[in-house]
């Protein structure tokens, strides 16, 4: 615990237990954790483990042992080092450490943990773009100050982006000008899914400002399409 106390607040054991019970109650949980051999396949396959002090095996092991203190540490720290690529799903026991992390993150977000808010801070603009437009971030949106999580080289790359892309050609050279827009009907359906499945509430838990500006965009379109947004509040 000592290493982490300055990064996030310690809470009473009962609170840690409550968070853990919420994780265990998730209907996906039993199919994400059977038993662990400690074989290390998940760590060997994990790209994040090469760069961070991060071990999917420890996530599975802590969950199997129900080590409440350690799980609380992981929920506030380790889980945000995972790239959610699910390479760890090659586990011979069919565990999914990445799946456990999905649940741990959701519980962290749903309970408004400060560490979750901090971890997701850099993503507000990406989330805003993706959810607002209903489609992916496109390379021609890249600007030096747009997405802080893309790292310090983004300015150098963005200066000559077109040249880089032609030098290292991806399968297509898609931009916002080529088949990027989604139809209004698709967008409306996406907005409804996000409202109905609690995604908007999750966003409110970690970033109230983001929730407000997204809601403005979405509600306008939904109300124009004849949906009564009062149902959602």
Q: Given the structure tokens 């880089």, which residue do they identify? A: 164
113-172 binders of another protein (CB under 8 A): none
Where does residue 117 rank: exposed (0-12), middle (13-18), buried (19+ CB within 10 A)? middle
* Nearest-approach distance from CB 7 to another protein, in angstroms: 19
Q: Report d(CA 227, CA 79) in Å as an integer.
A: 37
29-48 binders of another protein (CB under 8 A): 34-38
* Nearest-approach distance from CB 227 to another protein, in angstroms: 46
Neighbours of 203 (CB within 10 A): 23
Q: Which is nearer to another protein, 62 or 104 (CB)?
A: 62
Q: Which is nearer to another protein, 16 or 222 (CB)?
A: 16
Greatest C-alpha distance within the chain: 56
162 to 201: interface string for another protein, x by CB under 8 A: ----------------------------------------
77-96 binders of another protein (CB under 8 A): 93
Q: Report d(CA 212, CA 137) in Å as an integer.
A: 21
Cα-Cα-Cα-Cα torsion 108, 113, 57, 99, nearest 10 degrees, comes to 20
Measured between its terminal Cα atoms, the distance across the chain in Å is 39
* Nearest-approach distance from CB 39 to another protein, in angstroms: 11
* Nearest-approach distance from CB 144 to another protein, in angstroms: 41
Q: Report d(CA 197, CA 123) in Å as an integer.
A: 20
56 to 75: interface string for another protein, x by CB under 8 A: -xx--xx-xx----x-----
Taking CB under 8 A as the binding criterion, the range among 54-62, 132-140, 160-168, 175-183 that sits at the site for another protein is 54-62
**Residues lying near another protein in the complex (CB under 8 A):** 34-38, 57-58, 61-62, 64-65, 70, 93
């Amino acid at each position: 615990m000592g290493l982490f106390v300055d990064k996030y607040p310690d809470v009473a054991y009962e609170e840690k237990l409550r968070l853990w019970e919420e994780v265990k109650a998730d209907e996906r949980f039993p199919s994400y954790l059977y038993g662990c051999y400690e074989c290390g396949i998940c760590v060997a396959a994990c790209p994040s483990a090469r760069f961070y002090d991060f071990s999917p095996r420890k996530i599975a092991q802590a969950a199997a042992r129900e080590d409440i203190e350690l799980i609380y540490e992981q929920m506030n720290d380790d889980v945000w080092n995972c790239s959610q690529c699910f390479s760890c799903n090659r586990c011979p026991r069919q565990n999914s450490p990445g799946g456990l992390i999905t649940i741990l993150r959701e519980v962290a977000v749903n309970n408004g943990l400060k560490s979750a808010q901090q971890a997701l801070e850099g993503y507000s603009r990406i989330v805003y773009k993706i959810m607002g437009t209903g489609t992916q971030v496109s390379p021609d949106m890249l600007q030096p100050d747009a997405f802080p999580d893309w790292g310090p080289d983004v300015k150098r790359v963005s200066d000559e982006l077109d040249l880089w892309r032609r030098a290292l050609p991806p399968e297509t050279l898609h931009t916002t000008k080529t088949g990027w827009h989604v139809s209004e009907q698709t967008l409306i359906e996406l907005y409804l899914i996000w409202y109905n499945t609690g995604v908007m509430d999750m966003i409110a838990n970690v970033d109230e400002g983001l929730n407000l500006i997204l809601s403005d965009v979405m509600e306008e379109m939904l109300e124009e399409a004849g949906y009564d947004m009062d149902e959602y509040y």
